[in-house]
Amino acid sequence: MTQSAHPGTAERPLRAAIVGSGPSGFYAADALISRAGLNVTIDIIDRLPTPYGLVRGGVAPDHQNIKGVIRVYEKVMAHPGVRFFGNIKVGRDIQAADLRACYDAVVFAVGNESDQRMRLPGEDLPGCHSATEFVGWYNGHPDFTHLKFELDVEAAVVIGVGNVAMDVARILARDPHELAGTDMAGYALEELKTVRKLKRIYVVGRRGAAQAAFSPKEIKEIGALKNADLIVGPDEVAGMEGKDPAAEGWDVETKQDIEFLLKKAQEAPAGKPRQIVLRFLRSPVEFLAGPHGRLGAIKLEQNALVDDGKGDLKAQGTGQFETLPVGVAFKAIGYRGVPLPGVPYDVKKGIIPSAEGRVVENLENRKLVPGAYVVGWAKRGPSGLIGTNKGDSIATVEALLNDFAAGKTPPNLAADPRLEALPELLAQRGARWVSFEDWKRIDEEEIRRGKAAGKIREKFINIQEVLKFLDSTR
Ligand code: NAP
């Protein structure tokens, strides 16, 4: 093929790789295959043997309706030009430069796999965890299945008031029997069933109720739990009664949140077995060791809101402190991307730097990396719901297709655009990949095992076990 030919025809399809099989990756694939007149073949590569990213490993097991979005991704996989290569890690089995040689365009959809640190004294004490770890653990994500959590304590604290904090608080608060029929990892369910002492789950926000990041739906769900009372002390919503939302600059969601919290603040607790206690305007300043060297308490500083000079309000410590005895802490203060070898990374933001979805060397020189694109949290950071990724991926694909449009010089043309190029390379490297047909067998087996245990599915929890199963049934 000559370098002047434009890929995208039946004779020379556009070859695209998408690294990451979560929502943003699938929406990018969908946008490519939906483009009228474009001939494209897509390989979706994931380091795990199983697809769907956070839909499988992040969405809470009691939110099965959200997981229904997988049906859209299955339709993408049904397209004859789309293949899945699971268990293939960029930087280990294949390098970014290999991808550049096999594909005209590479779309990075790798999400944010790590979390933000607080850099506070005591943060590494046993008992102090990130929400990422806990969520990965209860969802059977192979990176986290080995972790142990001491949950049988009288009080826990969740730091942050976003939707991840809501997930963590809710899973802790529920009677585990309510979760028994879900796809929660079996070991996590068993561990939760042993928790007897847990009475109180504090959820701590550094700013006020009107700045809370949770959605109305999520906080209302917390308020409706069978096993826990939501406690909103009058101080947490002080001065909010009768406020004019427009004058306050509250959006619809904030208005709904405040209305709900004001209502809850009036209610007496019903005496349910557990309590979720909301505390606003407080920042952790230290995690304190208790007996046995484990986390025993958290020291909080009370905050006031001050102008941040950028049109928003920020928390500022007042010098007043309080200490809450807690045996376990979960930091739900946001995710962070991890660098991928050979791919630019912005250390400050924890994302892949880009301009309109085109990967750039860095945000200062904004020099384009030919043929490299980015979508989802890896592009914009950890914000938005699953659906937010759709428009975002479409925008990046638009940039990609503009770059490849007839008459323009494509930013990268694969040296070896054959469909066999990747399988051959992986075979040479001795890398074992899991195809979509393999995944279908894994899926069926998980559902079968789940059925036997009275659950939606029982997930495989480690990669070796998945590969062994595939070998034994081939
Ligand atoms: P998030 O919505 O950004 O919330 C992060 C929370 O952590 C905020 O309350 C933030 O407070 C706080 N925070 C950040 N740094 C802090 C610090 N140093 N000290 C104390 N608090 C700190 O992030 P998330 O909860 O991780 O969720 C990520 C995205 O996934 C969100 O868009 C979320 O809606 C989505 N999600 C959705 C669902 C669902 O739909 N069910 C479930 C899970 C996640 P400030 O506001 O003051 O920064």
Q: CA–CA separation, 58 vs 132, rounded Å?
A: 8
Does the structure show a pLDDT above 60 at 434?
A: yes
Domain boundary among 311, 335, 359: 335
Percentage of residues of the chain with pLDDT beyond 90:
96
Q: What is the mean pLDDT of the chain?
A: 96
Q: How far is the CA of 130 from the centre of ligand 1 (A)?
A: 12
Domain boundary among 288, 309, 335: 335
Task: Tell me, yes or no, whether 201 and 276 share the same domain.
Answer: yes
For residue 39, the enclosing domain spans 14-113+337-434
Q: What's the average model confidence in pLDDT over 336-342?
A: 96
Reported as a single tens digit per residue, the pLDDT across 303-325 is 999 999 999 999 999 999 999 99
Reported confidence tier of residue 291, pLDDT bands at 50, 70, 90: confident
Task: Tell me, yes or no, whether 294 and 355 share the same domain.
Answer: no
What's the pTM? Answer: 0.97
Task: Tell me, yes or no, whether 179 and 41 share the same domain.
Answer: no
Strand boundaries in 326-383, DSSP class E:
328-331, 335-336, 354-355, 358-360, 368-374
For Cα atoms 200, 218, 241, give the angle at the middle one, nearest 5 degrees.
85
User: 239 exposed, middle or buried (CB, 10 Å; 0-12, 13-18, 19+)?
Assistant: exposed
Query: Which CATH number goes with the domain that contains 294?
Result: 3.50.50.60
Q: What's the average model confidence in pLDDT over 125-131?
A: 98
Reported as a single tens digit per residue, the pLDDT across 145-165 is 999 999 999 999 999 999 999
Are 179 and 189 contacting, i.e. CB atoms less than 8 angstroms apart? yes
Element (H, E) at 25: helix 23-33
Reported confidence tier of residue 1, pLDDT bands at 50, 70, 90: very low
Task: Tell me, yes or no, whether 212 and 341 share the same domain.
Answer: no
Determine whether the shortest distance from the Cβ of 355 to ligand 1 is under 6 A.
Answer: no
Does the structure show a pLDDT above 80 at 26?
A: yes
Task: Tell me, yes or no, whether 330 and 369 share the same domain.
Answer: no
Reported as a single tens digit per residue, the pLDDT across 51-72 is 999 999 999 999 999 999 999 9
Q: What's the average model confidence in pLDDT over 7-15?
A: 94
Are 344 and 382 contacting, i.e. CB atoms less than 8 angstroms apart? no
The predicted pLDDT at position 406 comes to: 72
378 part of a folded domain:
yes
Are 367 and 361 contacting, i.e. CB atoms less than 8 angstroms apart? yes
Element (H, E) at 169: helix 163-173
462 part of a folded domain:
no
Task: Tell me, yes or no, whether 126 and 171 share the same domain.
Answer: yes
Task: Tell me, yes or no, whether 276 and 362 share the same domain.
Answer: no
The predicted pLDDT at position 451 comes to: 98
Q: CA–CA separation, 385 vs 24, rounded Å?
A: 11
162 part of a folded domain:
yes
Q: CA–CA separation, 417 vs 81, rounded Å?
A: 13
The predicted pLDDT at position 5 comes to: 64
Q: CA–CA separation, 131 vs 81, rounded Å?
A: 37
Q: What's the average model confidence in pLDDT over 276-299?
A: 97
Does the structure show a pLDDT above 60 at 50?
A: yes
Closest listed residue to residue 108, CA positions, set 163, 53, 35: 53
Q: How far is the CA of 293 from the centre of ligand 1 (A)?
A: 29
Residues 36-62 as b or e (16 or more Cβ within 10 Å = b)? eebebbbbbbbbbbbbbbbbbbbbbbb
Q: CA–CA separation, 152 vs 321, rounded Å?
A: 27
The answer to whether the Cα torsion of 65, 159, 112, 349 is positive or negative is positive
- Into how many domains does the chain fold? 2
Task: Tell me, yes or no, whether 76 and 156 share the same domain.
Answer: no
417 part of a folded domain:
yes
The predicted pLDDT at position 3 comes to: 47
Are 156 and 329 contacting, i.e. CB atoms less than 8 angstroms apart? yes
Going by CA atoms, what residue is nearest to atom 40 of ligand 1? 385
Q: What's the average model confidence in pLDDT over 347-371?
A: 96
Task: Tell me, yes or no, whether 344 and 321 share the same domain.
Answer: no
Task: Tell me, yes or no, whether 386 and 259 share the same domain.
Answer: no
Task: Tell me, yes or no, whether 293 and 183 share the same domain.
Answer: yes
Q: CA–CA separation, 26 vs 52, rounded Å?
A: 8
Task: Tell me, yes or no, whether 175 and 236 share the same domain.
Answer: yes
Closest listed residue to residue 104, CA positions, set 313, 361, 411: 411
Strand boundaries in 216-356, DSSP class E:
228-232, 274-279, 282-289, 295-307, 313-325, 328-331, 335-336, 354-355
Does the structure show a pLDDT above 80 at 30?
A: yes
Determine whether the shortest distance from the Cβ of 386 to ligand 1 is under 6 A.
Answer: no
Determine whether the shortest distance from the Cβ of 333 to ligand 1 is under 6 A.
Answer: yes
460 part of a folded domain:
no
Determine whether the shortest distance from the Cβ of 207 to ligand 1 is under 6 A.
Answer: yes
Going by CA atoms, what residue is nearest to atom 41 of ligand 1? 163
Tokens of 114: 């790590």
Determine whether the shortest distance from the Cβ of 213 to ligand 1 is under 6 A.
Answer: yes
Domain boundary among 291, 308, 335: 335
444 part of a folded domain:
no
Reported as a single tens digit per residue, the pLDDT across 362-410 is 999 999 999 999 999 999 999 999 999 999 999 999 999 999 987 777 7
Query: Which CATH number goes with the domain that contains 74?
Result: 3.40.50.720
Does the structure show a pLDDT above 50 at 121?
A: yes
Calculate Rg over the CA atoms of the chain: 24
Q: CA–CA separation, 339 vs 341, rounded Å?
A: 6
31 part of a folded domain:
yes
Tokens of 142: 């192979």
358 part of a folded domain:
yes
Reported as a single tens digit per residue, the pLDDT across 185-227 is 999 999 999 999 999 999 999 999 999 999 999 999 999 999 9
